[in-house]
A and B are shown apart, each in its own frame.
Chain A
Amino acid sequence: MNSKLLILLLLILGLRFYSFYSHQYQFKDGERVDFQAIILSQPQAVGSQRSFTANLKNQKIRITTDGSVEVNYGDSVRISGKISNRGKGLLMYFPKLEVVDSSSNILQSGLGSINILREKLISLFSGTLAVPFSSLMLGIIFGIKEQMPKDFSNNLRIVGVFHVIAASGMNVTLVGGFISAFFVMFFKRQAAIGLSILAIIFYALLAGLEPSIVRASIMGILVFSAQILGRQTLAVNSLFLAGFGMLFLDPSVISDVGFQLSFSAALGILYLKPVFGQKEGIISELLTTVAAQISTLPILLANFGTYSIYSVLVNGLVLWTVPILMMVGGAGAILGLILMPLGQIFIYLCYPLLLYFASVVNIFGNIGGVLIVQSFPWQFAAGYYCLLVSVLLLMYKQE
């Protein structure tokens, strides 16, 4: 990208952020508020308490609850309570909390027929496999979380692999990567682009049109289309332009975990994956996952996995199954919608991997080894990314 243009765009974005955050409403300490918001971070557990962030008049507010109401990232909640504003940012302790609707939003409820399809998928999987295997599969492929039994999702959280089912933005990026790589093997470029775009849109519809999924799909479509055309620079430029547009429209998006994940996962696929060399087929898809994981690790750890000392080990043990589960299970889902028994064969084929995945998660979840980390050190993330960028720069220079 032209460096003058880049500086101009950054300036515009800076101004936008300045005006956005300087014209903010000032909350008084002790002010009572009653508002509806979407949970912007995966709630973290400290004892029985849960804390998470939400948006209140475009400001981030950290909310601590007594844990009596179970909430998840992306849930829409009604919150009423007293604000504490004593120089440490906006905080709120033990408000009245009510989940408005944890599985749908206005966009989604408008799409009745898609919901029927979604219901069909849920009953296809849960009618074929038992809990928690069916729920794990739905979570991994479609980010559908509502079928997850409490104990199992607790264990997922404890061992630090909850991101596999919760990071909806990243799922889209990964699936987009698989799909485009798959189509490009069998079709001409134009056809592959068209099919990939259709498939990503279809997937986004099924996953539930949450804002984070919509954003991830837009990024995915731009990046993978440019990649199919073989234009690396175009892919990078369009990713940055998409990010620019989204931040310009709503600067608070930058604090959304889904946005952070899908943006950095896409960057990882663009820059990191080529470093591993040109591979084909399943290896290429594994590398897509690995690249996305490496480039998002600090975000994943900060938001989903600061709890277990085994988290890195468990991630290493189970993550290789994710691309295989996505492909075999995805094929099962599509075939199952057409002809149920055919799809079920594919879903059964996933069972050994799901059994393995769930056993690892339960074994380590029951061992415990939970660390209570109140906040993730930003220095770790900074150091990690500095190292990653330097390694990448070196490798690109050698080529």
Chain B
Amino acid sequence: MTKKYILIGSALFCLLGCIFLYQCIIYNDKKLHLAICDVGQGDAIFMRTPDGSDILIDGGPDDSVLACLGRHMPFWDKTIELVMMTHPHADHMTGLIDVVKRYKVVSFGYEKLGNPTGAYKKLIDLLNQNHIKQIFLWQRDRFETSDGVVFETLWPTQEWFDQNSISETSSDANDFSMLELLTYNHFKALFTGDAQVSAMEKIESLAGRIDVLKVPHHGSQTGLNAEILDILNPKLAAISVGAKNKYGHPAPFTLDLLKSKNIKTLRTDQVGDIEIVSDGKNFSVN
């Protein structure tokens, strides 16, 4: 009788060992992995640097971000080194509550912009309860990991922020949306949150030519124009958007614009998670 328990136990140990080895190999390929998560109508972008630091930008509208993390992290890793929130709108913020509850988050970077909703309060309470290091991010703030991956905040600047106060409930928070540039050797990706043309125009020259563009504001027509695309000249545009959303995102204007510039465009509502792998020179889409 006890023999059978031992048999089952050893079978499980053996399987677990195989999974350990397998995940060890595939997650330690010394490449940068980037996943635009399919979280419905919202944004969540996960990155794993070559040395295995985990970074998350935004958390999407609900707990579906957790499944995305489950798909792109080894099963024993429950630590996220850095979480960033571009702006406190529900479709970028709500999922972060679940992330903070279930993962050990080391640092949390966001902007100095409040929001009167219960969800925002809950998130900040959780950050405080778990003693997570909180950092307000401004233009030129940088995070650098030991493997050479750099995150630079391009927007907003502190001066602009102080001059342009908004009422807390207004949707103008999109104008304040943080813009993050990721650089890994020659590979560059720009994460835009819900940024509008006005902000994009201010940072286009700072970003320069990039490889991957997370299209601003789920592909809304107020996020891009031809001039911005000419300067950024991305090879791949990723749109994080929910199927049949009530806002009509992505706008035909944006899709046509990307098409006219011959930029390969992928949408999470059509392909699910968009996974991009880069060795610092080239990149490929899985």
Binding site for B on A (CB under 8 A): 123, 126-134, 149-152, 185, 280-283, 324, 328, 348-353, 355
Contacts and interface: CB of A to CB of B under 8 A. Distances in A.
Among all A-B residue pairs, the 5 with the closest Cβ atoms: A130-B70, A352-B15, A131-B66, A281-B1, A349-B12
Given A280-B1, A351-B19, A352-B16, A130 B9 contact: no
A313 B261 CA distance: 49
Contact of B12 (A131, A282, A352): A352
Given A130-B66, A282-B4, A355-B19, 5 more contacts: A130-B69, A131-B70, A132-B70, A282-B5, A352-B15
Contact of A352 (B19, B67, B101): B19
B8 interface: yes
B1 A131 contact: no
B143 to A, nearest CB: 24
Nearest to B77: A130
A282 B78 contact: no
B9 A149 contact: no
Contacts of B101: 123, 126
A351 B13 contact: no
19 contacts: A123-B101, A123-B102, A126-B102, A127-B78, A127-B102, A128-B78, A130-B66, A130-B69, A131-B63, A150-B62, A152-B67, A280-B1, A281-B5, A283-B4, A324-B8, A349-B13, A351-B75, A352-B15, A353-B15
A328 B63 CA distance: 27
A130 to B, nearest CB: 3
Given A126-B102, A131-B70, A349 B16 contact: yes
Nearest to A355: B19
Contacts of B1: 185, 280-281
B64 interface: yes
A166 B2 CA distance: 32
Nearest to B66: A131
Contacts of A283: 4
A328 to B, nearest CB: 7
Contacts of B69: 130-131
Interface residues of B, number: 25
A94 B69 CA distance: 36
Contacts of A126: 101-102
Contacts of B66: 130-131, 149
B84 to A, nearest CB: 21
A150 B60 CA distance: 14
A128 B1 CA distance: 30
A133 B5 contact: no
A351 B74 CA distance: 12
A202 B9 CA distance: 26
B127 interface: no
B63 A129 contact: no
B73 interface: yes
Contacts of B9: 349
A351 B15 CA distance: 9
Interface string B98-116: 0001100000000000000
Contacts of B76: 348
A17 B64 CA distance: 46
Nearest to B104: A127
A149 B2 CA distance: 37
> Max chain B CB contacts within 10 Å: which of A128, A129, A149?
A149
Given A126-B102, A128-B78, A280-B1, A353 B70 contact: no
Interface in B25-67: 62-64, 66-67
B16 A351 contact: yes
A280 B9 CA distance: 17
A133 B18 CA distance: 18
B19 A149 contact: no
Contacts of B19: 351-352, 355
B67 A353 contact: no
A148 B175 CA distance: 35
A133 B9 CA distance: 19
Nearest to A131: B66
B64 A328 contact: no
Contacts of A324: 8
B271 to A, nearest CB: 13
Nearest to B70: A130
B12 A353 contact: yes
A149 B67 CA distance: 7
Given A149-B63, A281-B1, A133 B70 contact: yes
B173 to A, nearest CB: 26
B134 to A, nearest CB: 21
A129 B4 contact: no
A130 B79 CA distance: 11
B4 A149 contact: no
Contact of B4 (A134, A152, A185, A281): A281
Contacts of B78: 127-128, 130
A129 B12 contact: no
Contacts of B13: 349
A352 B70 CA distance: 14
